[in-house]
Each structure stands twice: as C-alpha cells, then as structure tokens.
Amino acid sequence: MDSNDQDPAPSRRRFVGTVAGGLAAAAAAVPAAAQQPADPAPGQPPAGRAREAASRYPRPPFQNQSQPWPGLAGKMTPRPDHGETTYRGSGRLAGRKALVTGGDSGIGRAAVIAFAREGADVAINYLPAEEADAREVVKLIQDAGRKAVALPGDIRDEAFCRKLVAEAVRQLGGLDILVNNAGRQHSTDSILDLTTEQFDWTFKTNVYAMFWITKAAVPHLKAGSCIINTASVQAYDPSPNLLDYAQTKAAEVAFTKALAKQLGKQGIRVNAIAPGPVWTPLQVSGGQTQENLKKFGADSPLGRPGQPAELALAFVTLAADESSYTTGQVYGVAGGAGNP
C-alpha cells in the first residue's frame, strides 16, 4: 500500500474479517444436491470429514519422481487432493461465469471444482499435453450440474490469449470471474545456467499471458466482476534456485495492486492469492530438484506442503459478493511463512 495512504490497519482488518466471514458462511451452509461431490473413491475421506483430512495429508519425505513438462496430477505419487471428494458448495457463486487458466490440475483445478460446486459455469485453459487431467475436470464440473468449456492452447501466444477470452465469453454467455493461474517454474541453481530461452518462457507464461488475457477480458467485465491472480510466497521470500520465477511472482503482485486502482471506479475487483509450497505437477516436472522434492514443504511451520484443496475456499471468498470491498489485496496461504 502506498505510503501516502491512510492507516492501512483498518483495510487489513476489513479484509481479514471478510475472509473469516466467508469461511464461517461456507462451513455453516448446506449444499444443494447438484453441488455435492460424487461418492468418495476407495481410500478417500468422506465429504463430511474435510476438517479431518488435513491431519492425513502427506508429509515429506516424498519419493523420487519426475515427469516431462507440464506434468499430470494423475501420475503423481501421492496424488494431490483438489477437493474432489471434500469440497461442498453452498451456492455462493450461483449464475457466475468463470475462466481459469491452468484449470486442469493443481491450484487451478481446486478453484474450478469449488467454483462449479458453488454454482458457476467454468471455462478452463490448459496445454494440449494436459488433456487427460482436463477431461477429469470437465466431468467434475458437469457432475456439479454446471457448464464446462475446455479451451486448450499455449498462452505464450498473444493471439491465442485473445481467442481464449473470446471463446470463453461466447460459450459461457459472458464472463465475470477471471483467474490468471497458469504458471511456469523451473529450478536453476545459478544465474550462469539460466538461459534467455528459459527466462523468456517463464515471463511469457507468468507475466505476458496474464497481461494479454486480462486486457482481452476487461471489456467484458461489469461492475461486480473480479480478477484473481495466483502469485506466490516467492514474491516475498524468493528461493535462490527460482530466480526467474520469483521475479514473475513479484510482478504479479504489483500488477494486481496497480490494476485494482485502475478498475476500482468500474466496480471490478482485482486481488491475488500467494500460496506457499503446494503439491502440484509444477514441482515434479522441473520445478524442484529431486533433492528438494524429497523434503518439499518440510520447512513450513506446518511441516508439509499444502494441498490444492486447501486454497479453494480462498478463491471462492475473493470471488464472492461478500468480498465486495476487498480489492488490491494479496491473501497468503502458505502454512505460516513468508507471506504478506
């Protein structure tokens, strides 16, 4: 927040109060039948025991594993929890229309599942190589009784980004929630080994695409709409092996705060979520070294990485009407470390 603003404490209290109120409302609500998850798969916790699930989330050490970029959630061990059997909706986003990039897996998938079970129709973007994960997500949206739109393609291309937004608007019949979530992360120990090609790839995916997609979406957004960007703890506490990635996440924070000031008069809110270590395909497809992967999340106060499902409610709360006075904020979900 700018130094010439008034005391920021009331704003923070309002934001925390809004989020806390959203959590309480979601916990107390009784979902409609169409918003219920399917029966749990063998070995999965029942939907009513989401509170207990956190105690059973996996902790390091994790086994060695690697996948070619961009990786698939369905091939990870253990498989991430995106809320497939635990997230219960309460109609907080009924009738809304959302576009989520990187919606096939990881944090984006968790947001998509939650949005659909809260009553929103959802378009997801993903790379063609992620089709197997995307098909699962499409079915989950449809099982929630909502419309699903699958829009594969590479967001490093500006023309595709414009087409992506246009198709989402056309097939959904409008747009009022945009989630810029897709990201590129690749571990490189030394700046001497960080190539221009990799640097460009990371910035095109994380920063340029966010700019292109948002620019194309803004003309379709009306008062009450919102934009949510997935930033990272890396914006505040960068790891030495993620030099390029950390820069992009800091850029996303600045983008969020500046755009919120631009769009405030139009009634369009812009916020970000800054996750800490979260168990997603990003980590096993080059985002971490094998050594770091074994102990991934161990240094967080909770002693484990987060699961994508644990971020779902943050996206819902920032998208919901109850957060109508929340804009230009970064909401940290990092297990207790490194966030604003």
pLDDT digits (tens, 9 = 90+) for 161-188: 999 999 999 999 999 999 999 999 999 9
Smallest CA-to-CA distance from 228 within 256, 258, 264 is with 256
Average of per-residue pLDDT across 96-121: 98
Calculate helix-pair angle for 209-217, 243-263, nearest 10 degrees: 20
- Between CA 323 and CA 226 the distance in angstroms is 10
pLDDT value for 54: 66
DSSP states along 30-41: ---GGGPPPPPP
Q: 326 pLDDT exceeds 50?
A: yes
Q: 105 pLDDT exceeds 90?
A: yes
The separation between CA 204 and the C-alpha centre of its own chain, rounded to angstroms, equals 18
- 328, 270 in Cβ contact below 8 A? yes
Which residues, 6+ apart, have CB-to-CB distance to 45 below 8 Å?
Answer: 52, 53, 56, 85, 86
pLDDT value for 55: 77
| Residue 81: C-alpha distances to residues 10, 305, 314, 320 (Å) | 35, 12, 16, 23
Bigger pLDDT: 200 vs 46: 200
Active site residue 245: yes
The token duo for 202 is 């990371």
Q: 209 pLDDT exceeds 70?
A: yes
User: SS3 for 269?
Assistant: strand
Amino acid at 309: A
pLDDT value for 249: 98
Q: 43 pLDDT exceeds 60?
A: no
Domain ranges of the chain: 69-333
Catalytic residue (choose from 208, 245, 325, 331)? 245
Q: 7 pLDDT exceeds 50?
A: no
pLDDT value for 226: 98
- 111, 312 in Cβ contact below 8 A? yes
Smallest CA-to-CA distance from 315 within 124, 98, 167 is with 98
Smallest CA-to-CA distance from 115 within 140, 133, 132, 136 is with 140
- Between CA 66 and CA 187 the distance in angstroms is 13
The token duo for 205 is 């995916």
- Between CA 109 and CA 126 the distance in angstroms is 10
Q: 17 pLDDT exceeds 90?
A: no
Looking at the chain, the whole-number percentage of residues with pLDDT higher than 90 is 79
pLDDT value for 52: 64
pLDDT value for 289: 85
Smallest CA-to-CA distance from 210 within 248, 244, 265, 166 is with 248
pLDDT digits (tens, 9 = 90+) for 215-226: 999 999 999 999
Looking at CATH, the fold of the domain delimited by 69-333 is given as Rossmann fold (3.40.50)
**Helices and strands counted in the chain (H then E):** 11, 7
pLDDT value for 51: 60
Global pTM reads 0.85
Q: Which residue has the tokens 């620019």?
A: 215
- Between CA 48 and CA 217 the distance in angstroms is 37
Bigger pLDDT: 32 vs 337: 337
Q: 12 pLDDT exceeds 70?
A: no
- Rg (C-alpha) for the chain, rounded Å, is 19
